[in-house]
Structure 1
């Protein structure tokens, strides 16, 4: 059985705990935690911090998952690990209490949390978070490094661009396009397309400001 490391960064421990729970529920083996900010020997949710990202190189670690909730920081962590070990395998983590329909594709490094529903022929990119009780309808296309937050709902044929976030409880009607690195605020209802690098919220959701790729969510 492969041994999985969880790569996180200090304050990202909350998301890492959810990944640990999903792995445990799926009876997968966790080797430990890789963290640039915690000291070796510390523990996170019962698992030892093995060292920083250089530990991956020194010990020929080749399988893991990035446990960082922020899309930009998660992307940077993936980049650093690939530079250390170009052959590192980013595993897919799926909590056993999910519903994933036939025809769904899920990219490497993506996490699907408890209660999530992904319907027929949806395409989920790499290093995404499909969070607790979120729902992605048929034929949606979700780009890399996207977060679909708890209880967010996407109608059929929705497109979500790279690095974007649909925040908690937001609803997106069918066939809408959400651009790259865009944030849809919590509880919003999206009725029309939202462009790249925007923050939009409300019912109906309207663009309220422009953002950069590395900005905090809101």
Structure 2
């Protein structure tokens, strides 16, 4: 029997997450949670059931077993995940892996993480909770993604790379082997990272250069 779950979020990113869950076929989506939309509105045929604060009641009403936070912004996803965990400690955070993703044997994937279509995660990799490996993104061998970090569509790392917590490698960005992107740092689309990026900054270009500092929760670029 499939576990009843809800998806937190109802935007474009949530649409892709819904597709992954449907194709995976392991869970039954009861509905969506979104505090910024009206109860009863729909995304891909699923109704908005309420806000995060409604979760304790909804969990009982719908016999929920799990939840997945489908919010693309790393910092917001981390904050919402913490809030849900405090409200409903008995709900598990599920992972979602598209059937067309390639995940090597022995890879560790943290709770609440999502791997989209065409994603590649090679041997020896570790992903913390709440990570995103987006469409056609690639995490090469022995690399680490700390909690709530993300690879945008078509982004790729070399081997032995490290993405700090809540860091983001933008669309089509490249992180060369044995380099690190610091915590809460953002690397822009199409960048080529040839030197490790420190914590709390925005970098872009080819080769990538630090453009400015940022704080947790800033807009990406």
Interval containing the TM-score (normalised by the shorter chain): over 0.9
Deviation at 1:146, TM superposition (A): 0.6
Q: Deviations over 1:36-89 (max 9, x none)?
A: 111211111110111111221013334110011011111111121112112221
1:188 counterpart residue number: 191
RMSD, matched Cα: 1.0
Unaligned runs of 5+ in 1: none
Deviation at 1:30, TM superposition (A): 0.9
1:149 counterpart residue number: 152
Q: Deviations over 1:137-167 (max 9, x none)?
A: 0000100011100000100000110000000
1:200 counterpart residue number: 203
Separation (CA, whole Å) in 2 of partners of 1:144 and 1:154: 17
Q: Deviations over 1:160-205 (max 9, x none)?
A: 1000000000011100011100011110111111100011111111
SS class of match (2:31): strand
Query: Contact 1:96 / 1:114 at 8 angstroms: preserved in 2?
Result: yes
SS class of match (2:210): strand
Q: State which of 7, 21, 24 in structure 2 corresponds to 1:26.
A: 24
2:13 counterpart residue number: 15
User: What is the total number of aligned residue pairs between the two structures?
Assistant: 215
Unaligned runs of 5+ in 2: none
Moved beyond 6 Å, runs of 4+ = none
Separation (CA, whole Å) in 2 of partners of 1:158 and 1:211: 22
SS class of match (2:29): strand
Query: Contact 1:15 / 1:68 at 8 angstroms: preserved in 2?
Result: yes
Deviation at 1:210, TM superposition (A): 0.3
SS class of match (1:195): coil
Query: Contact 2:173 / 2:190 at 8 angstroms: preserved in 1?
Result: yes
SS class of match (1:22): helix
SS class of match (1:59): helix
**Normalising to structure 1: TM-score of the pair?**
0.96
SS class of match (2:13): helix
Q: State which of 205, 213, 217 in structure 2 corresponds to 1:214.
A: 217
1:2 counterpart residue number: 3
Query: Contact 1:190 / 1:205 at 8 angstroms: preserved in 2?
Result: yes
Query: Contact 1:62 / 1:85 at 8 angstroms: preserved in 2?
Result: no
Q: Deviations over 1:102-150 (max 9, x none)?
A: 1210000000000000000100111011100001100001000111000
Structure 2 residue 51 is matched with structure 1 residue 48: no
Separation (CA, whole Å) in 2 of partners of 1:54 and 1:208: 38
